[in-house]
Amino acid sequence: MLIKTLDRYIVREHIPPFLGSMAVLTFIMILDYLIRLADLVVKKGVAFGVVVKMLTYVLAYILSMTVPMSMLVASLVAFGRMSQDFEILAAKSLGISLKRMMTAPIVTAVFVSLFLAWFNAVPMPEANHRFRNILFEIGKLKPVAQIEARSFTQIENFLIYVGKKNERTGEIFDVKINQPLPNGNLRLIFAKYGRMLAQGDTVIMQLFDGEIHESEGTGAELYRQVKFKTHVVKIPIERNIEEGKRKYRQHREKTVPMLWNEIKKMEESIERVQDTIQFKWKRRMINVLELELNKRFAMALASIVFLMLGAPLAVMTRRGGYGVAFGISFMTFTGYYIVMIGSEELARKGMMDGILAAWMPVIITLILAIFLIRKEERI
């Protein structure tokens, strides 16, 4: 009876800081988007109602990150206050260990993680897709605005990568383009730099100093390589695309079933590739797809791991309150983010397995949490 009462008490202690921190963190993260979306109203004359709708869609992506973060803050605040008021010490004197006190919050975090896994699998990418639909329409006025530097961007059936861009001039640098051909093969285009502009229903890419690699059959002897000083790529676009009707999706816009099916198709097609460059390209694309798919579930599991990390940290510091909790959380989030970005970048360059890269920050945080829990239990 005592244990059940204590479990309910600890869970109740987590709820207010969880909701409060989620509201604060969401507001902080949404400020960056507010500034960028306000720029659309001022510079491009986008209707205020459209901007509000875009803000609603981007909120889904923000929540997928702030929910796990809020679990850490809630754990720090709840266990920190209990430790400061000697409630943890009292429970230990009755033979109740910290691991046992963490049981009820962890069970609650499991349900949060299951919900977040579903949310990251379908609703969140769908919201991202709707956001990109609107941005795509706006981007017709300035096509280079659609391109994300150091990332793969899909415009119609063209997959485009640029190392750097200049939105003011439309210039792009370190360009790589994956263009599917009607016969099922790929045309790979590499260029040192170029320029993007919109002309009617067409996005025009003027490329300079590059190469075209193209397989004209199944045999290696039918491979073609052409160097060029100037090359023009024309991408026809649907002029009157309505929200939700755009066909092509970037990786963040794809649901888990879409990513899974694409990985399977890519693995089947890679067996028939004879060209080394195309093989490396497809292998790299599989890596990126596996990274994106596993990230959805890694972020969901992070809710449990962050809660496990917060409990021993709070007991060791023996300080309650939001100030200390947010201070520790900020350092933890910074470290987690650095590991996440670093491993993702290595995966996109083909230097790390995509699955390992997605789970790397969670694994490191889990190891740290287990170490701190065992250390605190020995005290």
Q: What is the pLDDT of residues 290-323, one digit of tens each?
A: 999 999 999 999 999 999 999 999 988 877 677 8
Give the pLDDT score at 379: 62
Residue 226 falls inside a structural domain: yes
Residue 133 falls inside a structural domain: no
**19 shares a domain with 116:** yes
Reply yes or no on whether the pLDDT at 152 is more than 90: no
Q: Say which DSSP state 242 is in.
A: P
- What's the CA gap between 178 and 100, in Å, rounded? 53
Give the pLDDT score at 369: 94
Residue 61 falls inside a structural domain: yes
Q: What is the mean pLDDT of residues 94-111?
A: 91
- What's the CA gap between 364 and 373, in Å, rounded? 14
Q: What is the pTM of this model?
A: 0.72
| End position of a domain, from candidates 238, 257, 274 | 238
Residue 85 falls inside a structural domain: yes
Give the pLDDT score at 245: 56
**173 shares a domain with 210:** yes
**193 shares a domain with 112:** no
- What's the CA gap between 107 and 233, in Å, rounded? 54
Q: What is the mean pLDDT of residues 360-375?
A: 94
Reply yes or no on whether the pLDDT at 128 is more than 50: yes
Task: Pick the range with the lowest mean pLDDT from 115-129, 130-144, 290-304.
Answer: 130-144
φ/ψ (deg, to 5) at 254: -90, 135
DSSP symbols for 156-201: TTEEEEEEEEETTTTEEEEEEEEEE-TTS-EEEEEEEEEEEEEETT
The residue range of the domain holding 190 is 141-238
Query: How many structural domains is the chain composed of?
Result: 2
Where is pLDDT greater, at 113 or 179?
113
Where is pLDDT greater, at 190 or 247?
190
- Provide the pLDDT confidence category of residue 244 given band limits of 50, 70 and 90: very low
Reply yes or no on whether the pLDDT at 366 is more than 90: yes
Residue 233, phi-psi category: left (phi > 0), alpha (psi -120 to 50), beta (remainder): beta
Residue 25 falls inside a structural domain: yes
Q: What is the mean pLDDT of residues 325-342?
A: 90
**106 shares a domain with 199:** no
Percent helix, strand and coil across the chain, each rounded to 5? 65, 20, 15
Contact in structure between 51 and 37 (CB atoms under 8 Å) = yes
Contact in structure between 164 and 174 (CB atoms under 8 Å) = yes
Q: What is the pLDDT of residues 251-285, one digit of tens each?
A: 888 899 999 998 888 888 777 766 677 778 878 88
Residue 249 falls inside a structural domain: no
Residue 254 falls inside a structural domain: no
**370 shares a domain with 340:** yes
Count of Cβ atoms closer than 10 Å to residue 54 Cβ: 22
- The burial of 335, by beta-carbon neighbours within 10 Å (0-12 exposed, 13-18 middle, 19 or more buried), is given as middle
Query: If we measure between CA atoms, which residue out of 344, 340, 320 comes closest to residue 332?
Result: 340
Q: What is the pLDDT of residues 21-58, one digit of tens each?
A: 999 999 988 887 887 777 766 655 567 777 788 888 99
Give the pLDDT score at 141: 58
Task: Pick the range with the lowest mean pLDDT from 115-119, 306-310, 316-320, 350-354.
Answer: 316-320
